[in-house]
């Protein structure tokens, strides 16, 4: 018999360790979830939240550690087993099928059927019951899911969890796609679910939300639980942020020589806006200066870079290079004006993975490498080899397919591309993503050397210490707005997090 002790954990994860080849994503995580509570999971980007919920959903197998449900040790070798045990996960990118109806989505994979025929009527009936239970009787079982808003899709996703008799529902940043009215509605639904004894594991960056609906908090940092079962009502924001940032390992950041006051402004962005993403962004970067944009994923920071670069067409505003206006929405114009971008997703946005290093290096420099449309492969190779040597590419072989290089060396190839082209302004989006620790300081040094040579550099990173350590000046972006601007030395990680999480200026 199940004990009715409300304090006994429904779900208990202990000492969860998850290794990926070459990296430890989780290194001893504990999580206790009680029936009927909203348990918040807090942590910075890369703290291990996503990995943890994938373990809980059965999508990843933990390297070590135990999972207990109602005190019984269980394993989730497959996503289906997790569902069978009543653990359902709502991912951020909702996994509903747009072309199917609400009822079809809810019973997808466990269709109500008799002799191979789906029982449409009873599916519809049960869907109506589920929707009533979630307080959304207006969503018809026969409605096509593609016609619902993000909030509606979320409800469908929850109904699907309930249809599998879920006792624990994991929600990964459910509010990220909702506007404020929809968020209120989400919270109401969450309240109703917890009243029915269902446990919610709630992941969010927004402290205000956690204050509103959370019961207890677990804080992750670098794959380890650093704060367990903290009471939401008694734990100060300050303490939470301290736990999330902790003491960071010091990367060796290059020294800032300081930008002379008379250094010319290279890049000037005025009132730049992209509909529904960011607005009123104005910034300048001077020759030799490194400016950092700090903000959370989804704050609009990457979009700002891409819009400056012309990869997205600004709805408003101006981008000027050395006083000359750039054509809106034209990457070609930006490249011709010597602006270079090392994009966020290097592999999908930056590189031709099967092509050799030298062809990736020269991809933007045909005007220099080719005459009348004819490629000079010897010139290509020597230009690439020259940069490979200067950037200490390892292995120093420009013939290798770029796929075989490490993340740090792939990033060097991206930098080499713009060095061969010649670059006045360098836009770096997550310059050290997927770059191992040893190679990071090398990248930092390279960026600083480029700046010292007169390049204006604009850096975006989700790792706040990186932005603060590398930049001369920092802009903090929250919800598509620049909320702070100032010298990097005069602000710390704690203050930045405070600003982006509360959306207020410190």
Partner 1 sequence: MSEQQTSSGAATHTPTARAGGRRTRGRLPGLSGLSGATVRNLGLVAALLLLCLVGFLTGGDRFASLTNLMIVLSLAAVTGVIAIGMTFVITTGGIDLSVGSLLGLTTVWASTLATQTMADQYGWIVMVGCALLVGLAAGLINGVVIAYGNVVAFIATLAMLVAARGLAELIANRRTQIVDQPSFETTFQGDLLGVPKIVWIFVVVAVAGWFLLNRTTFGRRTVAVGGNREAARLAGIDVKRHLMYVYGLSGLTVGIGGVMLLARTGAGSSTNGLLLELEVIAAVVVGGTLLVGGRGTIVGTVIGVLIFATLTNVFIINNIDSSVQQIARGAIIVAAVLLQQRFARRSKAG
Footprint of partner 1 on this chain (CB under 8 A)? 20-27, 44-48, 50-51, 221-224, 226, 246, 248-249, 251, 309, 311, 331-332, 334-336, 341, 343, 347-356, 359, 363-364, 366, 370, 373-375, 377, 397, 399-401, 403-407, 410, 417, 432-437, 463
Q: Which residue lies nearer to partner 1 by CB, 193 or 464?
A: 464
Sign, Cα dihedral of 275, 276, 280, 285: negative
Choose between 90 and 334: whose C-beta lies nearer to partner 1. Answer: 334
Q: Which is nearer to partner 1, 164 or 346 (CB)?
A: 346
Check whether the bond before 120 is cis (ω within 30° of 0).
no
CB of 424 to partner 1, least distance (A): 14
Torsion sign (Cα): 257, 262, 267, 273:
positive
Q: Which residue has the tokens 């850096």?
A: 459
CB of 373 to partner 1, least distance (A): 5
Least distance in Å: CB of 225 to partner 1?
Answer: 10
Select 36 or 246, whichever has its Cβ closest to partner 1: 246
> Minimum Å distance from CB 87 to partner 1?
22
Nearer to partner 1, 277 or 435 (CB): 435
**Residue 31 beta carbon to partner 1: minimum distance, rounded to whole angstroms:** 16
Write down the least CB distance from residue 361 to partner 1, Å: 11
As a whole number of angstroms, the distance between CA 352 and CA 417 comes to 12
Nearest to 341 by CA among 351, 328, 356, 355: 351
Beta carbon nearer to partner 1, 14 or 125: 14
Q: In terms of DSSP H, where are the helices of 259-376? A: 301-309, 331-336, 357-361, 366-369
* 227: β partners: 219
How far is it, in rounded angstroms, from Cα 55 to Cα 64? 11
Using the structure block, give the residue that is written with the tokens 């026969």: 142
Which residues neighbour 78 within 8 Å (Cβ) at sequence distance 6 or greater?
A: 58
User: Between 86 and 292, whose beta carbon lies closer to partner 1?
Assistant: 292
Closest residue by Cα to residue 473 from 286, 224, 199, 227: 286
Q: Rank residues 104 and 463 by Cβ distance to partner 1 and give the closer one.
A: 463
Run of H or E including 340: strand 339-342
Q: How far is the CB of 151 from partner 1 (least distance, A)?
A: 27
Of 166, 130, 188, 150, nearest to 140 (Cα)?
A: 130
Q: What minimum distance in Å lies between the beta carbon of 270 and partner 1?
A: 23
Least Å distance between CB 93 and partner 1? Answer: 15
Q: Do the beta carbons of residue 273 and residue 314 sit within 8 Å? A: yes
Contact present, 174 and 154 (Cβ < 8 Å): yes
What's phi and psi for 350, nearest 5 deg? -115, -35
Nearer to partner 1, 150 or 352 (CB): 352
> Could you give the C-alpha distances from 356 to 233, 370, 393, 403, in angstroms and in order?
57, 18, 13, 9
CB of 464 to partner 1, least distance (A): 11
CA nearest neighbour of 160 among 106, 238, 229, 91: 106
Q: In sequence order, which residues have a C-beta less than 8 Å from that of residue 414 and are 6 or more positions away?
A: 342, 343, 346, 350, 351
Q: Which is nearer to partner 1, 48 or 141 (by Cβ)? A: 48
């Amino acid at each position: 018999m199940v004990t009715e002790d409300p304090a006994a954990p429904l779900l208990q994860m202990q000492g969860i360790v998850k290794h990926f080849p070459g990296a430890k994503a989780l290194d001893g995580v504990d999580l206790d979830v009680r029936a009927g509570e909203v348990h918040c999971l807090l942590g910075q980007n890369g703290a291990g939240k996503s990995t943890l919920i994938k373990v809980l959903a059965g999508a990843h197998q933990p390297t070590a550690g135990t999972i207990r449900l109602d005190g019984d040790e269980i394993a989730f070798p497959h996503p289906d087993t997790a569902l069978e045990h009543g653990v359902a996960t709502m991912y951020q990118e909702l996994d509903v099928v747009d072309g199917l109806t609400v009822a079809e989505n809810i019973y997808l994979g466990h269709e109500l059927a008799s002799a191979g025929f789906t029982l449409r009527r009873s599916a519809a009936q049960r869907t109506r019951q589920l929707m009533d239970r979630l307080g959304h009787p207006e969503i018809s079982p026969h409605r096509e899911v593609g016609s619902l808003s993000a909030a509606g899709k979320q409800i469908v996703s929850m109904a699907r969890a309930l249809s599998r008799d879920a006792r624990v529902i994991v929600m990964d940043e459910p509010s990220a796609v909702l506007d404020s009215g929809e968020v209120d509605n989400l919270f109401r639904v969450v309240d109703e679910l917890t009243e029915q004894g269902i446990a919610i594991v709630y992941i969010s960056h927004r402290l205000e939300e956690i204050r509103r609906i959370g019961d207890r908090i677990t804080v992750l940092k670098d794959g380890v639980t650093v704060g367990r079962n903290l009471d939401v009502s008694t734990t100060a924001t300050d303490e939470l942020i301290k736990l999330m940032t902790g003491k960071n390992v010091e990367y060796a950041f290059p020294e800032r020589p300081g930008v002379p006051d008379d250094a010319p402004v290279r890049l000037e962005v005025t009132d730049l806006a992209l509909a529904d993403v960011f607005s009123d962004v104005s910034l300048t970067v001077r020759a030799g200066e490194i400016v950092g944009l700090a903000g959370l994923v989804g704050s609009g920071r990457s979009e700002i870079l891409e819009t400056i670069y012309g990869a997205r067409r600004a709805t408003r505003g101006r981008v000027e290079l050395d006083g000359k206006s750039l054509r809106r929405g034209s990457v070609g114009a930006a490249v011709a004006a010597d602006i270079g971008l090392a994009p966020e997703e290097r592999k999908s946005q930056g590189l031709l993975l099967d092509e050799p290093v030298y062809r990736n290096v020269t991809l933007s420099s045909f005007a220099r490498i080719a005459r009348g449309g004819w490629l000079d492969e010897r010139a290509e190779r020597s230009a690439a080899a020259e940069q490979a040597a200067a950037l200490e590419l390892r292995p120093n072989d420009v013939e290798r397919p770029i796929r075989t290089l490490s993340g740090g060396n792939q990033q060097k190839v991206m930098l080499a591309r713009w060095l061969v082209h010649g670059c006045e302004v360098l836009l770096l989006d997550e310059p050290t993503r997927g770059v191992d620790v040893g190679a990071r300081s090398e990248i930092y040094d390279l960026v600083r050397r480029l700046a010292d040579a007169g390049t204006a550099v604009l850096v975006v990173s989700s790792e706040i210490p990186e932005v603060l350590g590398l930049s001369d000046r920092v802009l903090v972006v929250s919800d598509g707005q620049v909320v702070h601007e100032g010298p990097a030395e005069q602000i710390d990680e704690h203050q930045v997090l405070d600003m982006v999480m509360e959306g207020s200026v410190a």
